[in-house]
């Protein structure tokens, strides 16, 4: 039967003799519709409309094959046609504001989408304006001035579809508040921030060309000039190069941002408000189907600036324009006379700081910078300098997008008084940029490094160490490769020279991130002496292993007890022996110092395997260390007999050997640093842990590092007499210490050591951070009412300690800066010190002084009495406003009316709260 059927198909197939070969195909196709079985088809996937709109909106202006206008028109069409899809509409409105806040350079493109959508569906624009207005109001009340600025910029771009004067009444109100704040205090920085918002909004507001708007702008500029051009009293505190001597050209102008903006806008007014870098999307929007007159216009949102301006959660300071490439022979970035420099920088910085949860996205945005600005603003990516010179000779722009990106990131790393995020975040952004576009970024980064190194002598000391930390971290990500031969001329300079100190600090940081042998292999031969033999040892030698060192037997006994985890009382014997031997040799000396040195050195040696090992040792010995820090050593006297004179029945009578506790604490620091002299980073870490255990106090650490007599050790001559000089290798001599002629000659030299600054800065940060925590608890109302008085008393005590600590640091380094430190005075006429070395020490003292003077002023602005009172007042008014809002909502729910239209304070109505929590990040 099967053969017959197949033969029938061959005869009737009409395939010209090839039916046999195709019979199988015919069989599966079937010739009877009743028996035909269709194979299952793959289900077609149709992308949800909300997801499609989201994808298109996120990628707006990122295509190199489509124009942004086409993208905007296409997105508007999709939204209008799918307006019945409530999920899509809600997602669209949420994403609009999310893009405005996280990718500011896309604001003009997003605004054009709304303008196109308004031509066909006015409800879209109406809802967008309402949401943006509510958000701006919330940000103004909360003191979130960056977010307020971005939403206001978005509204300024939408003036084309609004009636009235648009954003200008709000700008006038901002200026009035700024003028009031400036009158109240010459040190006010909130007013400067409001003026900056005004000046940065104007270029976008004038994208809708109108004679009335231009006239309002000129009036505004006439008023803002008073504030923008006035020198601010705090400007010198944020100067990145404060120590440039007379007759030396400054590395950069470091002008005030608002002063630059004021001059740039006045220049633009003479050039018909060109704003060449901003894409002319709004001006080029084609009229709607019925002409522009038929398009409905909306009422501009009402935004009221609070009567009491909220300064925000982050202290504000005058902002300077930091640029590594500006105003050089080849203008690879916009000159500071061109408003493009500040407009581009502002959008880049906001993107970097707002997208901090996704460094990969930030890096991609920076690399794609040229896509978001007017065509012709930048040259092609990765252009070589020879090509740039030819283009410059022809009068063309040679602005490099990668230079702008690197410049913006470094401006945040070197922001004073403090960066907005942890420095490692900015480090990682640069690393990601190098991964995305290595050929383009690497040359720009090399030029930046050379500029910074060339001018490191005069750089603010805090910024110099930020540069050092970043450079070491960056090299560790790229196999520690660098053209070290360029700096060989500085290797033979004195260790006090800033460039030599920088090189030494970099090598030490590299060894921390790797190991000495590997770093040695990456360096030219001339650098090898900077890596001592001790740096190649994972475990430093135990100095008491040699019998030539005093108290070696007792120290080894202490080490054995520690290793066997003996009880605390077992240490009394060897510690007592050391203390008595010290008293026998020098009755006027502090007997606890050599005992402390042996005890702490044994702890360091036993715990040298890892941090957990040493922390375990410290934890077991904490009580003994605390007692020593109080200047007490509980022991027993072996010669004490009973009252009846029976020498055969000895009773141990408790005895306490006492000494200067402050000197003992300094000795603990000295012993840690001495043991880890070849790995100072570990010493800094251990000192920080000892602070956490309260074994040390912040004052004791600062005294060891800076103050006269800080080592706390016996006289150098007395120590040398019995060989006890092993407890003091000079590592602990303070900046003004005179421990004898030899040490007097080194007075102030420790200020050039990177690890000393690291130790002092981390200790100061620990203290100021604790005071800030107390202030935060006080101002946020986290403490019950009955405990407020106790907290205020505690705050007053901690604040006084902080002020005293900062003053002591300033006094110590100020003496070095003026040459009046004790050690420097005693060195004159006793120790031959070159005039160059003396001037370098004074320079180090001045640089240190500038840093801690700024820290004191910053902390007063955050935790001072006036600052705390103002913060408490702002918190009180915010609470009252929240209560009023809750009451209005309750009335609305009871009456069912819609008199007050409000959004959820957590941002749930518009999705911003999700963004802030990282739940809906733009990837």
Report whether 474 contacts 428 (CB < 8 A).
no
Mean pLDDT, all residues of the chain: 84
Q: Identify the CATH number of the domain in which residue 689 sits.
A: 1.25.40.180
How many independent structural domains does the chain possess?
4
pTM listed for this prediction: 0.86
* Residue owning tokens 């997105």: 75
- Domain boundary pick from 284, 302, 323: 284
The confidence score (pLDDT) of residue 822 equals: 62
Lowest mean per-residue pLDDT among 49-58, 71-80, 699-708: 699-708
- Closest by CA to 779, choosing from 859, 862, 883, is 862
Q: Give pLDDT tens digits for 563-617.
A: 999 998 899 999 999 999 988 888 878 899 999 999 999 999 999 999 999 999 9
Sign of CA dihedral 324, 327, 330, 333: positive
Per the document, the length of the chain is 923
Q: Give pLDDT tens digits for 281-306.
A: 876 676 655 555 456 889 999 999 99
> Exposed e or buried b for every residue in 55-68, given b needs 16+ CB within 10 A?
ebbeebbbeeeeeb
Round to whole Å and give the CA distance between 566 and 589: 29
Residue 382 lies in a domain: yes
Round to whole Å and give the CA distance between 335 and 347: 17
346 lies in the same domain as 467: yes
Structure token digits, residue 418: 């403090």
The confidence score (pLDDT) of residue 312 equals: 86
Give the structural domain span for 455.
342-478
User: Is it the case that residue 49 has pLDDT exceeding 80?
Assistant: yes
User: Is it the case that residue 40 has pLDDT exceeding 90?
Assistant: no
SS3 298: strand
247 lies in the same domain as 363: no
519 lies in the same domain as 379: no
Residue 111 lies in a domain: yes
- Closest by CA to 475, choosing from 437, 507, 436, 450, is 507
Residue 333 lies in a domain: no
Residue 201 lies in a domain: yes
Count CB atoms within 10 A of the CB of residue 230.
14
458 lies in the same domain as 485: no
**502 to each of 452, 621, 748, how far by Cα in Å?**
11, 37, 17
The confidence score (pLDDT) of residue 135 equals: 96
Contacts of 76 (CB under 8 A, 6+ apart): 113, 114, 116, 117, 119, 120
User: Is it the case that residue 419 has pLDDT exceeding 80?
Assistant: yes
User: Is it the case that residue 845 has pLDDT exceeding 90?
Assistant: yes
The confidence score (pLDDT) of residue 208 equals: 86
Q: pLDDT band for position 873 (50/70/90)? A: confident
Looking at residue 320, the DSSP 8-state letter turns out to be B
Q: Is 555 exposed, middle or buried (0-12, 13-18, 19+ CB in 10 A)?
A: buried
Looking at residue 535, the DSSP 8-state letter turns out to be G
User: Is it the case that residue 152 has pLDDT exceeding 90?
Assistant: yes
SS3 747: coil
Q: pLDDT band for position 881 (50/70/90)? A: low
Structure token digits, residue 41: 């088809």
The confidence score (pLDDT) of residue 556 equals: 95
The confidence score (pLDDT) of residue 692 equals: 95
Round to whole Å and give the CA distance between 857 and 860: 5
Most confident by average pLDDT, 37-46, 182-191, 237-246, 414-423? 414-423
Lowest mean per-residue pLDDT among 36-40, 82-86, 326-330: 36-40
Report whether 604 contacts 674 (CB < 8 A).
no
Question: Which of 595 and 783 is assigned the larger pLDDT?
Answer: 595
- Closest by CA to 452, choosing from 405, 411, 511, is 411
Bond before 627 cis per omega within 30 degrees: no
Q: DSSP letter string over 767-822? A: HHHHHHHHHHHHHTT-S-GGGHHHHHHHHHHHHHHHHHHHHHHHHHHHHHHHT-SH
Residue 609 lies in a domain: yes
606 lies in the same domain as 694: yes
Report whether 839 contacts 817 (CB < 8 A).
no
**Residue 655, beta-bridge partner list:** 635
User: Is it the case that residue 420 has pLDDT exceeding 90?
Assistant: yes
User: Is it the case that residue 141 has pLDDT exceeding 70?
Assistant: yes
Round to whole Å and give the CA distance between 340 and 377: 9
Contacts of 419 (CB under 8 A, 6+ apart): 412, 413, 426
Lowest mean per-residue pLDDT among 388-397, 597-606, 689-698, 832-841: 832-841
Round to whole Å and give the CA distance between 44 and 129: 38
120 lies in the same domain as 150: yes
User: Is it the case that residue 905 has pLDDT exceeding 90?
Assistant: no
56 lies in the same domain as 165: yes
Question: Which of 186 and 759 is assigned the larger pLDDT?
Answer: 759
547 lies in the same domain as 525: no
Report whether 75 contacts 53 (CB < 8 A).
yes
* Ramachandran class of 312: left when φ > 0, alpha when ψ lies in -120 to 50, beta otherwise: left
The confidence score (pLDDT) of residue 721 equals: 33
Of all residues in the chain, the percent with pLDDT exceeding 70 is: 81
- Domain boundary pick from 235, 257, 284: 284
Residue 4 lies in a domain: no
User: Is it the case that residue 894 has pLDDT exceeding 70?
Assistant: no
688 lies in the same domain as 706: yes
216 lies in the same domain as 101: yes
Residue 353 lies in a domain: yes
The confidence score (pLDDT) of residue 788 equals: 83
191 lies in the same domain as 74: yes
Contacts of 507 (CB under 8 A, 6+ apart): 519, 523, 527, 530, 531
Report whether 97 contacts 910 (CB < 8 A).
yes
| Secondary structure, 3-state, 144-179 | CHHHHHHHHHHHHHCHHHECCCCCHHHHHHHHHHHH
Give the HSE-up count for residue 914: Cα atoms under 13 Å, Cβ half-sphere: 13
Alpha helix locations (H) across 278-422?
339-354, 359-367, 385-393, 401-413
Question: Which of 2 and 862 is assigned the larger pLDDT?
Answer: 862
Report whether 748 contacts 841 (CB < 8 A).
yes
Of all residues in the chain, the percent with pLDDT exceeding 90 is: 63
- Domain boundary pick from 238, 267, 284: 284
Residue 887 lies in a domain: no
Most confident by average pLDDT, 45-49, 514-518, 743-747? 514-518
132 lies in the same domain as 278: yes
Structure token digits, residue 9: 């198909």
Round to whole Å and give the CA distance between 826 and 831: 9
């Amino acid at each position: 039967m099967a053969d017959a059927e197949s033969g029938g198909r061959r005869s009737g197939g009409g395939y010209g003799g090839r039916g046999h070969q195709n019979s199988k195909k015919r069989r599966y196709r079937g010739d009877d519709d009743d028996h035909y079985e269709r194979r299952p088809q793959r289900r077609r996937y149709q992308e949800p409309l909300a997801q499609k709109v989201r994808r298109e909106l996120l990628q707006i202006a990122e295509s190199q094959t489509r124009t942004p206008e086409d993208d905007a028109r296409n997105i508007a069409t999709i939204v209008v046609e799918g307006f019945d899809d409530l999920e899509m509409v809600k997602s669209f409105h949420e994403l609009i504001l999310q893009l405005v806040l996280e990718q500011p350079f896309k604001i003009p493109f997003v605004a054009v989408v709304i303008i196109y959508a308004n031509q066909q569906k006015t409800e879209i624009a109406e809802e967008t304006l309402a949401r943006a207005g509510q958000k701006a109001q919330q940000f103004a009340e909360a003191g979130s001035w960056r977010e307020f600025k971005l939403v206001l910029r978005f509204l300024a771009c939408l003036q084309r579809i609004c009636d009235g004067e648009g954003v200008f009444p709000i700008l006038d109100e901002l200026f009035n508040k700024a003028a009031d704040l400036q009158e109240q205090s010459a040190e006010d920085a909130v007013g400067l921030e409001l003026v900056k918002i005004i000046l940065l909004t104007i270029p976008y507001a004038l994208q809708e060309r109108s004679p009335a708007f231009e006239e309002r702008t000129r009036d505004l500029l006439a008023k803002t000039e008073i504030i923008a051009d006035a020198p601010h009293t705090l400007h010198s505190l944020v100067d990145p190069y404060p120590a440039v001597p007379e007759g030396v050209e400054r590395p950069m102008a470091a002008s005030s941002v608002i002063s630059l903006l004021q001059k740039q806008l006045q220049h633009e007014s003479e050039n018909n408000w060109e704003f060449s870098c901003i894409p002319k999307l709004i001006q080029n929007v084609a009229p709607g189907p019925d002409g522009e007159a038929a398009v409905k216009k909306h009422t501009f949102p009402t935004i009221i600036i609070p009567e009491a301006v909220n300064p925000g959660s982050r202290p504000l300071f005058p902002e300077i324009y930091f640029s590594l490439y500006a105003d050089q022979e080849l203008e690879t970035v916009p000159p500071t006379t061109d408003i493009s420099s500040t407009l581009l920088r502002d959008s880049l910085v906001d993107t970097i700081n707002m997208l901090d949860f996704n460094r990969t996205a930030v890096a991609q945005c920076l690399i794609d910078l040229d896509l978001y600005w007017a065509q012709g603003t930048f040259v092609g990516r990765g252009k070589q300098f020879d090509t740039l010179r030819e283009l410059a000779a022809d009068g063309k722009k040679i602005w490099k997008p990668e230079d702008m990106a690197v410049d913006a990131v470094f401006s945040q790393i070197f922001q004073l008084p403090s960066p907005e995020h942890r420095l490692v975040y900015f480090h990682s952004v640069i690393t990601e940029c190098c991964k995305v576009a290595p050929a383009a970024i690497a040359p720009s980064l090399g030029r930046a490094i050379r500029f910074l190194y060339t001018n490191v002598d005069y750089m603010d000391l805090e910024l110099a160490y930020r540069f050092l930390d970043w450079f070491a971290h960056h090299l560790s990500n790229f196999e520690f490769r660098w053209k070290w031969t360029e700096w060989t001329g500085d290797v033979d300079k004195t260790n006090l020279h800033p460039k030599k100190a920088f090189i030494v600090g970099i090598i030490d940081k590299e060894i921390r991130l790797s190991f000495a042998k590997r770093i040695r292999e990456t360096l030219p031969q001339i650098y090898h002496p900077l890596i001592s033999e001790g740096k190649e040892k994972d475990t430093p030698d135990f100095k008491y292993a040699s019998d030539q060192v005093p108290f070696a037997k007792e120290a080894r006994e202490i080490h054995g007890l520690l290793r066997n985890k003996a009880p605390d009382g077992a240490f009394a014997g060897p510690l007592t022996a050391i203390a008595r031997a010290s008293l026998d040799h020098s009755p006027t000396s502090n007997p606890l110092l050599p005992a402390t040195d042996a005890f702490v050195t044994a702890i360091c040696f036993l715990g040298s395997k890892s941090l957990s090992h040493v922390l375990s040792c410290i934890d077991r010995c904490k009580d003994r260390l605390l007692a020593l820090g109080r200047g007490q050593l509980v022991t027993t006297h072996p010669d004490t007999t009973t009252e009846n004179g029976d020498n055969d029945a000895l009773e141990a009578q408790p005895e306490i050997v006492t000494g200067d506790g402050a000197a003992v604490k300094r000795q603990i620091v000295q012993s840690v640093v001495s043991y880890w002299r070849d790995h100072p980073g570990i010493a800094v870490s251990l000192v920080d842990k000892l602070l956490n255990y309260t074994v040390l106090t912040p004052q004791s650490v600062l005294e060891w590092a800076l103050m006269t007599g800080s080592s706390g050790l016996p006289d150098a001559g007395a120590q040398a007499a019995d060989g006890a000089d092993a407890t003091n290798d000079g590592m602990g001599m303070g900046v003004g210490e005179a421990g004898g002629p030899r040490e007097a000659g080194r007075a102030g030299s420790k200020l050039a050591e990177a690890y000393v600054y690291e130790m002092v800065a981390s200790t100061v940060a620990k203290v100021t951070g604790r005071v800030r925590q107390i202030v935060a608890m006080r101002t946020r109302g986290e403490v019950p009412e009955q405990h407020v008085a106790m907290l205020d008393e505690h705050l007053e005590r901690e604040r006084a300690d902080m002020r005293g600590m900062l003053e002591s640091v300033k006094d110590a380094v100020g003496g070095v800066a003026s040459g009046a430190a004790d050690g420097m005075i005693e060195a004159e006429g006793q120790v031959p010190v070159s005039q160059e070395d003396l001037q370098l020490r004074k320079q180090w003292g001045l640089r240190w002084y500038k840093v801690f003077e700024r820290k004191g002023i910053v902390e007063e602005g955050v935790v001072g009495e006036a600052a705390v009172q103002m913060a408490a007042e702002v918190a009180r008014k915010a609470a009252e406003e929240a209560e009023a809002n809750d009451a209005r909502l309750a009335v609305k729910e009871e009456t069912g009316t819609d008199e007050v239209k409000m959004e959820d304070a957590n941002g749930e109505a518009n999705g911003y709260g999700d963004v802030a929590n990282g739940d809906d990040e733009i990837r």
